[in-house]
Structure 1
């Protein structure tokens, strides 16, 4: 079968490789119909080259391990592939773990489903396991301001969607080119608003202060950017005694955030394994389910929401050429050309693909 491997640049090599085998009896082999993509696909390749970095699988179950009980061959599924392990989503066939796989209802396209696994779970971990915000089935009952910085990004947009389901308002969104999309996610009647970061850092801080209404400092911030002045701006409005911020880039030095401030990191790979180490200075909540149990539960929540229509994926753009389009898609991601949408790849558009295997 064909599989794409990512190198610094980003550059992509498409190779003929052996058909995957099941790593454990809790795994599933999936015929990939559509692969999603994420900024980390090019970023991690800069330091870990030669890996199939695709982690957003949408396709049809080919085979399952003997311990798998919720899926069977022929099921339409999406799955969050275990990062940096073999057989990611940039391939004809990929491997997913049962706990991080969910059914795709017939009303939802493979393209939409491919936008959800990594970004949706990153948002959920940050909102609930890191910030400790009210869960959708036990929603907020009073005013609870939340800033989502980078609200037009996939992670940020999913955070806004989850906040709405948790009745968290006002949601103060920081966005730029994707403001029109963010506007479609918020409820102005509940105090939700948008601050345009393109006006400069001083105006962002002023906008955040104005949105908070002069009723005190900010207690909760989800920084889906974690760069370009985002956390520095947030720290100017945070409650330094009781505030919490969660960040998406764990390998970064956050100058400007005091060492003892309550900061955490989403580290979405923790829904698969505790091999992702804790970060020095991170403040962890106690008394919660572990990230792996939480992840398994939330993917069922996503599945239910897709079926009922109260949860949706992210806008997307199909890059032509299947695996042959992965390099262009990742180059565009690195260049910052994606705003308020995700690049996805239809694998059957790959040149030279054996249709007999699809």
Structure 2
């Protein structure tokens, strides 16, 4: 019998979560077996529970944000070895999900964790960073900007507005915008998170409670340049409406949820939902290239992980954590669970 591990299962479509056991998988070609030390929570997980999206087979293990220790290396993997500390982006299959004690990862979407970064910090990176990467640089699911690792860094002198800059996706978008040379980098957040978003690289901060007209007027005080790119990391109907109002002719509104604004051919503005999953065919090449930068970015402090809060009771704590996220009780912080502490 295969060795067993504890996992958090979503028992059925729109069903309940429950701790159970499943076999520890073996890595195939191009894969790693990772002992999960830290797994971060994301809003997509409670949305999967509510809607049944993304998942076809139950009981299902969820979770995209993985940090842990390499236990076994699959065939053809040359840049990792047993004992390496790594972070990785999981996927919507039980073998590749975060909410269990051992998981497989795809080596192309795995990076070593620098000594200066903890498992908990590293676990806050994968999905948030990939969603920012694809939204900015993706050809199909993004604005198609040239990635900073393919050209010498210079000043774009092009403004960008990031709505929801203290969110996980917003914070990584600000940091990548800085890396890409955008200026000014304008963001909205709660006043209590102003220092946080400025640390990430925002040059101008505005209260998220400003109306579209107020924000437009405030931004005009900052720059005369037209706003060609708005990244709405919140993407509720009200923030989408504000982002749409800010956009110049032929501008692009990047969203993390489906568009509620209507595209207008006359002005040529477009709005679309990004998809921060490097495993889908359209994102694989971009994902491989960006993941090749992750260890360096973290080591140099170019990308700073999110602030985090550790949940108690191992995998069991994820259930209440996802409910807190659903109720809007988490701000500027990622919730992180320790699967090895599951009773």
Match of 1:297 among 285, 289, 296: 289
Residue 132 of structure 1: how far off its partner (Å): 2.8
Q: Deviations over 1:15-63 (max 9, x none)?
A: 01122233x4122111000111111011112222742211111000111
RMSD (Å) for aligned C-alpha atoms: 2.1
SS in 1 for 2:61: coil
SS in 1 for 2:209: helix
Match of 2:273 in 1: 265
Distance in structure 2 (CA, Å) of the matches to 1:253 and 1:243: 15
| Segment drifting more, 168-177 vs 259-268 | 259-268
Residue 75 of structure 1: how far off its partner (Å): 0.8
Alignment pair present for 1:14 and 2:19: yes
Contact 1:122 1:267 in 2 (8 A): yes
SS in 2 for 1:268: coil
Alignment pair present for 1:165 and 2:179: yes
Alignment pair present for 1:184 and 2:203: no
Q: Deviations over 1:57-89 (max 9, x none)?
A: 100011121122221211110110122453411
Q: Deviations over 1:128-148 (max 9, x none)?
A: 222233433433434210001
Distance in structure 1 (CA, Å) of the matches to 2:323 and 2:210: 27
* TM-score, L = length of structure 1: 0.84
Residue 253 of structure 1: how far off its partner (Å): 4.5
Structure 2: runs of 5 or more not aligned:
53-57
Structure 1: runs of 5 or more not aligned:
275-289, 352-358
Match of 2:55 in 1: none
Match of 2:147 in 1: 135
* TM-score, L = length of structure 2: 0.88
Distance in structure 1 (CA, Å) of the matches to 2:147 and 2:124: 22
Match of 1:323 in 2: 315
Match of 2:40 in 1: 36
Runs of 4+ in structure 1 deviating by more than 4 angstroms, as ranges, are 7-11
Equivalent residue pairs, number: 325
Residue 330 of structure 1: how far off its partner (Å): 0.5
Distance in structure 2 (CA, Å) of the matches to 1:39 and 1:159: 17
| Segment drifting more, 146-155 vs 194-203 | 194-203
Alignment pair present for 1:65 and 2:65: no
Match of 1:193 in 2: 204
Match of 1:101 in 2: 110
Contact 1:151 1:157 in 2 (8 A): yes
Match of 2:261 in 1: 255
Q: Deviations over 1:212-238 (max 9, x none)?
A: x3x253101111111141121111121
Residue 295 of structure 1: how far off its partner (Å): 0.6
Match of 1:230 among 224, 236, 239: 239
Q: Deviations over 1:197-256 (max 9, x none)?
A: 224444334334443x3x25310111111114112111112112x21121112xx34234
Match of 2:64 among 55, 64, 89: 55
